[in-house]
Each structure stands twice: as C-alpha cells, then as structure tokens.
A and B are shown apart, each in its own frame.
Chain A
Amino acid sequence: MSAKFDLNDDSLVVIVGSGAGGGTMANELAQKGVKCVVLEAGKTLSLDDIENDEWAMFSKISWLDKRFSAGGWHGAVNHPGLPAWIVKGLGGSTVHWAGVSIRFQEHEFKMKTTNGEVVGANVIDWPITLAELEPYYDKAELKMGTTGDVTGMPHLPWSADFKVLAEGARRIGYTKMIAGPMSINSVDRDGRPACQQIGFCMQGCKLGAKWSTLYTELPKAVETGNCEIRTNCMVLTIEHDKSGKVTGVVYADADGKQQRQKARVVCVAGNSIESPRLLLNSASNMFPDGLANSSGQVGRNYMTHMTAGVYAVMPGEVHMNRGTAVAGIVRDEAHNDPKRGFVAGYTIEKLALGLGFLSAFLVPGPTGWGRKVSGALEKYKYMSGVWICGEDLPQEQNRIALHPTEKDQYGLPAPVVYKTDHPNDTNMRIHAYQQMEKIYNSLGSTEIYNLPAYPASHNMGTNRMSEKPRDGVLNKWGQSHDIKNLFVSDGSQFSSSGSPNPTLTIVALTIRQAEYLAEEMKRGNV
C-alpha cells in the first residue's frame, strides 16, 4: 500500500525525521488525505532488531555521527563525542524513550509571567496555553495508549524497585508517588500487547507494548496510501525560491547519491540538534544566517532538562532490572516555589540501569574506576536509583553551532553542542541530591552515589515558538515566522523545557500542527 512519489512532485509535504514529531505528523496528514514523504536519516528497524542488551542496542540504534560536546558541563570532558543520547533509525527516539507521559502544568507555559526576568536566562512565555493544548493532550494520550483517565487504562503495577522509592518518599513526607502516566500498555490495546515487565524499555520494547512511531504511526500512515517512507536518506539542505518560499530538499540517499525532492511544505523533525543544524546548513544568499533565522535564535536556547542520577545500596535486595525501566515517578517537587532556591520544578523518576550501563555511568568518564566503583557494582542487586528531570532555563549561549572545519560523513559541517548550567540548574540539582539523600537514608541506606547528567535524551528549544518574531523562530503553530511553508515539528519548538518528559507534548503539538497545516493547505494559504 506504500505510495511512491516522484521527485518532481511539488504537491507533497516533505517530513524530515520519523520520531515523535515526524512519525506523528506523517500519520496525521496521511489520515487527512494529505500526501507526504518521510525522509529518515537512519535505517529501517523492526521488532526483530531489538535485543535485551544495553550495549548491543546502544551500538545499533544511537545517533553516532560526528558531534562535539562543548561548554561547561562535565560531558565536554567525559562525553566529548556524544552530547546527546538519541536514535538514528526508523521511529527516531520513540524507540529509546521510556514512556513517561506527563502533561505540562499551566505555569510551565508561562515561566516569564510566573517568575519575571531571570538574570542570565532568556526566558519567554509560550505563545499557547495549557487550555489550548488540553484537547490535543487528550488526543495524544488516546493515540499513544497512555495509562490514566483519558484511555481508562490502569497504570502499571508497582515493581519492587518503585515500592522502595515510594516507601522512602513516604517516610520523608511526600505524597505524590504514582506508577504513571506511561504510554506503555497495561492491557492489550490497539493491536499491541500488555507489558510483561521485561525491562530494557530504553533499548526498544521487544514486545511493542510501549508506544513508538516505529510500529504505530508509521505503518498506519503507509497503510493509507498517502505516505511514502524513505530510510537511509539524510536531508542535507532545504531549498527556496526567489520569494523565499521553500521548494524542496536535497538529500543523500542510501547509495550516497544526492537527490532533490520537491515539496509544497517542509516539516523539519530531526530532533533539537539536527533540526537547527539543517536550517543553519541551508544558508543562502537570501538567508545568509540560515533559513528561518531573522531572529538569530535558530540553534540557540538549547535545553536538555536539568538532570542528575542518584543510586544507592539498600539494606535488602531490590533487583531494579526486573520490570519497566521507569517504574514510577514522584511529583512532590514538580511545582514552582522559588523559596527552595530555584524557580521551576523537577520530577523524581525511578530509573533502572543494567550492570553494563551502571558501570559506565556510576562515575562517568576517564576517572570512573577503582575500588569505589567496583565495590558498588558488587552490590548491584541491592541497588535502587532515580533520574532527576527538572526544568532547564533557556540561555542564548547554550546552542547548536556549526563546526568551522570538522565535517560529518555527508560532508556537512559537524554540530557543536554548547551546554553550561545556569545557577538555577545547579541549585535545583543540589536540592534534588539532598532530597534523595533523605529518602535513601530513611530506608537505612548510607551508600549513595550522585551521578551528573547523562548525554541528553531530552533535547529542546533550538527553534523555539514565540509570540514576537524577534524572540524565536516559530509562531504558535510551529510555523516559521519568516517562511510560511516551513514548519518545525519536534521538541526544538519548545519555548521552555518544563519539567515533564517531552514526548507527549511533542505529539500533542504535532496533532494540533497537522490540523492547522491541513486547513491552511486546503485554503491555499501555504
């Protein structure tokens, strides 16, 4: 049923990327009868490719093209070639995500109004509100199969590991411990089975119980006959005409040959490093600073979430690997209360690591060795741990830039990813470490390991939406302020990071964007 479109067909929507944004956009448009082509840089994947093996899957699905970590974060030293931990393959990072599906809180759409100017940060309100996005959150949850009230699907059962965290949280007075909302089937639904607690969610769900565009949106889009997916096709530049409208893209196909696909509309959904990089690499005489960049904000305000890990040795066995990777969350610190020493909030997310990843991340980088590390790993089955996910303030100098000399395998300037904590991030991380120490001490654990940020899987903000064109790249529909038929459909749209994991919000924004785009095409406005 797959459509096959001509390279000179200029009636198409070209979608760059097949993850939460691109994959959802493809299906939403295809269901509405809009013809589209998905260009995915990575290879085709299927459930057969998925193994319960951390390092094997890391090698198989990660985006490992040449990239540089820079700025003041520890990864510039410890992860110099891996600023981000995202996927290159069909389904994008929805293969890797853990399934946590929290909605933004109302105030998280208006951080400027809520907290005023924050020195050293570049904070703006979103041009949309929670009320405007709520109907699309409902649609996103129904699409993804998110546990909770909208689907009526119960949350997943509490694993032993989550019970440990929840008991510690209870002992220090927390009350918001919940094993959801997760976009992981707790019962058979939408042709996909219920979770069997096999673990390895972030290596790709072997059962397909976790939502991923790989086996939901993408095949459904193809089935309509309105969508063609081309894998191993890396988009190199977006082209435009004399009026400034985009006319198509140039990409390297599976054989490395350059192809030019014409388009009526281009939707960029390559994640928050590749999307701005593509706009910057598309600079022309008319747009010398890159496409859609009259504001100078393309690539800037890069946010990853304020993150940290905490792992502790418990007095009894835990076996954290038995069950979903993120078995539950604690939301008692998710509110905005500057009295804690920082604005915005964070979520405590249970996160199981296998022995392979724990050995690499307990003390990351070249100095992570010795008795302290090996001694802790001997107690693997007694260990429990969390990932802290908090709001990261936008800063202009945190950005994606093009390397002046280094090129990737396609001959394009490699991306340099600058990231330095704002003092607000630092204060929030210290607070989270202190709270986790209280939680683990309450359970009788005194052997606690504070981990710095991992290479980021949550990447946001580098093509942000803004009310005023001078503050950002996109309007409230994710449409370029400068170029009407150019859209961005991924997390780089985010005006601020919020504290929730980004996928649900990307999907909600995309459903809304697809509705708008289809209407605008019908009206002849784009």
Chain B
Amino acid sequence: MYNPLLQIGGSALACPDVTRRRLLKSMMFVTAALALPALPPDAVAAPLSADQKTTLFRLARDIYPHEGFLDDTPYQAVVDAIIVEAEGSPAVADLLSKGLADLEERSQRIYKTNYTAIPKPEEREGVLRSIELTDFFQKIKGGLLMGLYNNKELWPKFGYDGSSWETGGFIDKGFDKIDWF
C-alpha cells in the first residue's frame, strides 16, 4: 500500500528557510542512500542467516515494545514478510544485511557485544536511535506500524472497536456513558 506518511527522505528540497536540523537530516538521508549502491538486476541475494533473523526479530520487538501485552506472533509475521520480500529482491536483501551489519558494528563498538545480547532495553533503544533515520530502520518500523496497529486481530487487545456501521453504530451501545468523574 502506498503511504506517503510512511515515506522518509523524499526530495531534500532547497528552500530559503530550511532549518539546520532539517538540513542535517536531509544529509543523513543522502548518506543512507549513498550507502546503498544499486545492484545489478541478476545479483543473487544471500539469504539471511539464523542469527540475522533473530536480530531482526529482537529489533522489531524493540521498536514498539509491548512486553506482557502482545506476544511474538504479530512481530514474527512482520519480520517474516520482510524476509520473504528480501528473498525476491536483491535490493531489499542488501538493505537488510547492510543495516544489520551496521547495527552489530555499533553494538560491538559501544557495548562490546551483539545487539541481541545488550541486556537493558533502554540501551538497545539508544543504539536504535542512532540508526533511526536510515532506510533500513524505517522499513522495519513502517511494517510494524501496519502489522501491529492496523491489524484488526489485535484491535480488541487495545480496546479499539474498528468498523461499526454494520452493527448500527454506537448510538444504542452506550456511546454517551461515562462514570468515573
């Protein structure tokens, strides 16, 4: 589904009142783009290793953490869909393997261990904040936004009702009931 709200980067349009922060962000997008040279169309994507898949899953749980609230299933579904996509697209496979390599490099440099072995969630979040503007991170985040919060199966857990017109709306179902003040 095309969704411009989930696109990042776009064109770093020159405009007179561009802020410094924006300019820096635009430059980061450019850097991210430069780090991903176009692959020849017949390049064969190396499948992700078991370790890489585990890291991807940890990363997914860390982007929108819901411990004790959501189980692994919806996260795994998002990660699996991205892995399947990578199997058919050398560009996506390259995005994933380079993004994961970058993540591991940062984890080793700062915490002397693999990303998944960093014990504290806030430390892992710190590492992720340093890559949050990359296409790699945004691809996983975009998938999760839809897979967790636009997922009708999960809506009851959040207390969100979804479509109501088929059952006559809420006019006779207590839409005006409030009792705590």
| Interface of A toward B, CB cutoff 8 Å | 51-55, 58-59, 64, 68-72, 76-77, 79-82, 157-160, 163-164, 167, 195-200, 206-207, 314-319, 321-323, 354-356, 358-360, 364-367, 369-371, 373-375, 377-378, 380-381, 397, 406, 416, 418, 420, 443, 455
**How far apart are A45's CB and chain B's nearest CB, in angstroms?**
16
Asked if B171 and A321 sit within 8 Å, CB to CB, the answer is: no
- Chain A residues, Cβ within 8 Å of B15: 70-71, 76, 416, 418
- Chain A residues, Cβ within 8 Å of B175: 159-160, 197, 319, 322-323
14 contacts between A and B (CB under 8 A): A55-B146, A68-B10, A160-B178, A196-B170, A196-B171, A198-B165, A200-B165, A314-B180, A316-B179, A322-B164, A360-B149, A370-B125, A377-B158, A378-B158
**How far apart are B134's CB and chain A's nearest CB, in angstroms?**
9
* B112 sits at the interface (CB 8 A): no
Q: How large is the interface on B (under 10, 10 to 19, 20 to 34, 35 or more residues)?
A: 35 or more
Asked if B161 and A318 sit within 8 Å, CB to CB, the answer is: no
Query: What 10 new A-B contacts, CB under 8 Å, besides A160-B175, A197-B171, A397-B16?
Result: A76-B22, A80-B10, A199-B164, A200-B163, A322-B173, A322-B175, A358-B149, A359-B150, A374-B64, A377-B64
- Chain B residues, Cβ within 8 Å of A317: 159, 180
**How far apart are B22's CB and chain A's nearest CB, in angstroms?**
5
Q: How many A-B residue pairs have CB under 8 A?
A: 177
Asked if A443 and B11 sit within 8 Å, CB to CB, the answer is: no
Asked if B150 and A316 sit within 8 Å, CB to CB, the answer is: no
Asked if A369 and B64 sit within 8 Å, CB to CB, the answer is: yes
Q: With contacts A197-B170, A317-B159, A418-B15 known, is A370 near B63, CB below 8 A?
A: yes
Segment at the interface with A among B1-9, B48-56, B76-84, B89-97: B1-9
- Chain B residues, Cβ within 8 Å of A377: 64, 149, 158
Q: With contacts A55-B150, A59-B1, A356-B150 known, is A198 near B7, CB below 8 A?
A: no
- Chain A residues, Cβ within 8 Å of B13: 68, 70, 76, 416
Asked if B160 and A380 sit within 8 Å, CB to CB, the answer is: yes
- B65-117 residues with Cβ-Cβ distance < 8 A to A are 65-66, 69
Asked if B3 and A59 sit within 8 Å, CB to CB, the answer is: yes
- Chain B residues, Cβ within 8 Å of A59: 1-3
- Chain B residues, Cβ within 8 Å of A374: 64-66
- Chain B residues, Cβ within 8 Å of A198: 164-165, 168-170
Asked if A159 and B176 sit within 8 Å, CB to CB, the answer is: yes
- Chain A residues, Cβ within 8 Å of B158: 355, 377-378, 380-381
9 tightest A-B CB contacts, nearest first? A316-B180, A80-B10, A381-B159, A196-B169, A198-B169, A52-B163, A359-B149, A160-B178, A81-B4
* B58 sits at the interface (CB 8 A): no
Q: With contacts A163-B178, A197-B170, A373-B64 known, is A82 near B165, CB below 8 A?
A: no
* B41 sits at the interface (CB 8 A): no
**How far apart are B67's CB and chain A's nearest CB, in angstroms?**
9
Asked if B133 and A378 sit within 8 Å, CB to CB, the answer is: no
- Chain A residues, Cβ within 8 Å of B141: 366, 369
- B1-45 residues with Cβ-Cβ distance < 8 A to A are 1-11, 13, 15-19, 21-22, 25
A374 to B17, CA, bound (A): 34
Chain A interface, >50% SS class: loop
**How far apart are B179's CB and chain A's nearest CB, in angstroms?**
7
* B123 sits at the interface (CB 8 A): no
Asked if B25 and A199 sit within 8 Å, CB to CB, the answer is: no
Asked if A77 and B11 sit within 8 Å, CB to CB, the answer is: no
Asked if A355 and B180 sit within 8 Å, CB to CB, the answer is: no
Which one, B2, B22, B168, B174, contacts A77 given CB within 8 A? B22
**How far apart are A67's CB and chain B's nearest CB, in angstroms?**
9
- Chain A residues, Cβ within 8 Å of B163: 51-53, 200
- Chain B residues, Cβ within 8 Å of A418: 15
A197 to B18, CA, bound (A): 43
Which one, A72, A80, A354, contacts B11 given CB within 8 A? A80
- B120-143 residues with Cβ-Cβ distance < 8 A to A are 121-122, 125, 128, 132-133, 137-138, 141
- Chain A residues, Cβ within 8 Å of B132: 366-367, 369
- Chain A residues, Cβ within 8 Å of B128: 370
Q: With contacts A163-B176, A355-B149, A420-B17 known, is A319 near B165, CB below 8 A?
A: no
Interface centre among A315, A356, A367 (most CB of B within 10 A): A356
A346 to B88, CA, bound (A): 52
Q: Considering only CB atoms, which chain A residue lies closest to B63 in the complex? A: A369
* B119 sits at the interface (CB 8 A): no
Q: With contacts A167-B181, A199-B164, A378-B158 known, is A366 near B8, CB below 8 A?
A: yes
**How far apart are A210's CB and chain B's nearest CB, in angstroms?**
13
